[in-house]
Structure 1
Amino acid sequence: MPFVIAVLAAAVLFGTTGTSQALGPEGTTPFTVGGVRLVIGGTALAALTAAAAWLRRRRNPGAARPRATARPVGLMALTAVCLTVYQPLFFLGTSLNGVAVGTVIALGSSPVIAGVIEGVLHRRLPSGIWMSATALATVGVVLLGVGGGGEVAADPVGVLGSIGAGASFAVLAVAQRRLLDDGWHPFTVVGSMGGGSAVLAIPFLFAGDLSWLGEPRGVVMALWLGLATVPVAYALFTGGLGGLSAAAAATLTLGEPLTASGLGLAVLHEQLAPLAIAGLVVLGAGLALLARGSRAPRDPEPFAVEG
């Protein structure tokens, strides 16, 4: 259960990103906001990892550590690339289709993609709990997406951006799960992702005007996105992933659309149709089913929820 709580807490923090951008100053773009978020957050993650590694060496200098062969290095690089690509794609989707709809499409596609990837890698069918919970949550996502757009049709470019963000997050979760299975410490996994993404995101800073950073609202937005939604959120997510399959963790991150939709309604005054409200309820039921399944005894199959 603690693993589930950690991932859900991360999802709540993730769910504040679209609203934070919407409340930010004028002149922001998906590339500049994503770049600033990663440069700040990725650097903080790398620093956190270095500090944690130093403490581990001080406490247990003779502890065995996994070898940095081509496979783990490649997987760590892949997580950095996925996190970097995720940023502009996610913010593109929310900027074109609204926070609620953009977040729902991005996170709604992620569990299914993660489940397919893990199914291919492990050559096993997912557990009954995961299939039931994900099916229920997906229905909720569809209802929320259909009802969340009001009378305005979804922008196709925004939809593609959101789906691309969902795919990036799914690949990131699967790669991190493999690294944890190979014995890598969660802080090492998340720190390498953060440090690599910070370097890769530097070109984003030159993709638009950064004068908004000179405004108080811009500074607050950058610090919140860079610190709360990257080092804190991804440390929680990766720690929770240690006791869950990537598919289960991706399904639990559907708590992000719940948060984003709630903030969109309460803070941004976005309108949701009754059908979308029903979608929120169904989505919440799917997450509750998956969380309840985490109390079951540990299942050796890769899709079983462990907690």
Structure 2
Amino acid sequence: MNHKEFRYSLMVLLGAILWGTIGTAQHFAPEGATPISIGAVRLAIGGGAIMLYAFLKGKLNGKEILFKRSTYIGAASMASFQLTFFAAVLMTGVAMGTVVAIGSAPIFAGLISLIVNKESPGIKWLVSTLVSVLGCILLVTGGGDLSVNMNGILIALGAGASYAVYTASTKNLLDIYSPEMVTGVVFTMGAIILSPFLLIYSLDWLKTAQGLGVALHLGLVTTAFAYVLFSYGLSGIKLHKAVTLTLAEPVTAAILGVFLLKEQLSMISGFGMGLVFAGLVILSITRPVRNKESLT
């Protein structure tokens, strides 16, 4: 891996690490903060912050982005991810919903690369993804039994597919526009799509200092900053590789759970964490094959 590719990969990893703080932040949200209202507020704050930053930096160039099909696909898929992920967690529980949604996203991304972009992910990606997904399953479940709600599983798969489609569509836009502009426009449109939910669910939790702090962290840190980092990284590496690197998110969440929330990490979960790291190392360090038949 050359230095430039390593830098882009590192940005994706940093974005995933920031996403890993979402669960901890939601843990400290006050009573009355529903998952859907949190998701809608998160997009509204994050999209607005990125748009303001892009405007101040003079990055809002090219109004034709508003007429690109990928812009609307990206906005709709991000809004869909917010709804399907939180709904899946409610129906299946945090462990199962997280495993299916996050674990399926790299698979969907690989299929999109293969079918739509005509790019073969390669054996390195396949091995690293399988190792990392297995590690994610062990990390989140801790080897315990999980209750299976098939409707919830299907919705969680929808969340994984939504995230992969969002990444693929924004990848197309990043070939033309700056990461700040792409992320700001797509997230603002996504927030508009979710805005009706702000009228349905109570936002009284935002009136407290604790609620406002959680909202700002989720909007500014885990959305605005994290997705700008992710978009910068995505602009320089392959789609399937970027999505696999985001499996660092549950590792971060587990570490924070142990040190901040005093949760217990079982031996199986610890082994799963090691597998995730191993998969990411395989993906990031192994020398890529430089030919047209196997693009990594």
TM-score, normalized by length of structure 2?
Answer: 0.87
**Structure 2 match to 1:233:** 226
Among 107, 124, 127, the alignment partner of 1:129 is 124
**Structure 2 match to 1:114:** 109
CA distance in 2, matches of 1:272, 1:153: 20
**Alignment of 1:285 onto 2:290:** no
Structure 1 residues 69, 153: CA separation in 2 closer, same or farther (over 3 Å shift)? closer
Structure 1 residue 84 displacement after superposition? 1.4
Q: Structure 2 counterpart of 1:141, which letter?
A: C
Among 204, 219, 224, the alignment partner of 2:217 is 224
Among 3, 7, 10, the alignment partner of 1:5 is 10
**Alignment of 1:51 onto 2:51:** no
Structure 1 residue 155 displacement after superposition? 5.1
Unaligned runs of at least 5 residues, structure 1: 58-64
CA distance in 1, matches of 2:262, 2:86: 19
CA distance in 1, matches of 2:181, 2:66: 14
Root-mean-square deviation (Å): 2.6
Structure 1 residues 166, 56: CA separation in 2 closer, same or farther (over 3 Å shift)? closer
* Conservation of the 8 A alpha-carbon contact between 1:245 and 1:302: no
CA distance in 2, matches of 1:153, 1:76: 37
* Conservation of the 8 A alpha-carbon contact between 2:77 and 2:165: yes
Among 171, 176, 189, the alignment partner of 1:177 is 171
* Conservation of the 8 A alpha-carbon contact between 2:131 and 2:276: yes
**Alignment of 1:19 onto 2:21:** no
Among 78, 86, 89, the alignment partner of 1:83 is 78
Structure 1 residue 250 displacement after superposition? 0.2
* Conservation of the 8 A alpha-carbon contact between 1:66 and 1:184: no
Unaligned runs of at least 5 residues, structure 2: 1-5
**Percentage of pairs with the same residue:** 37
Structure 1 residue 255 displacement after superposition? 0.6
CA distance in 1, matches of 2:13, 2:90: 24
**Structure 2 match to 1:62:** none
**Structure 2 match to 1:260:** 253
The structure 1 segments of at least 4 consecutive aligned residues displaced by more than 6 Å after TM superposition are none
Structure 1 residue 99 displacement after superposition? 4.9
Q: Deviations over 1:59-94 (max 9, x none)?
A: xxxxxx696595xx1101111111112123333344
**Structure 1 match to 2:3:** none
* Conservation of the 8 A alpha-carbon contact between 2:59 and 2:181: no
Q: Structure 2 counterpart of 1:89, which letter?
A: T
Structure 1 residues 270, 161: CA separation in 2 closer, same or farther (over 3 Å shift)? farther
Q: Structure 2 counterpart of 1:26, which letter?
A: E
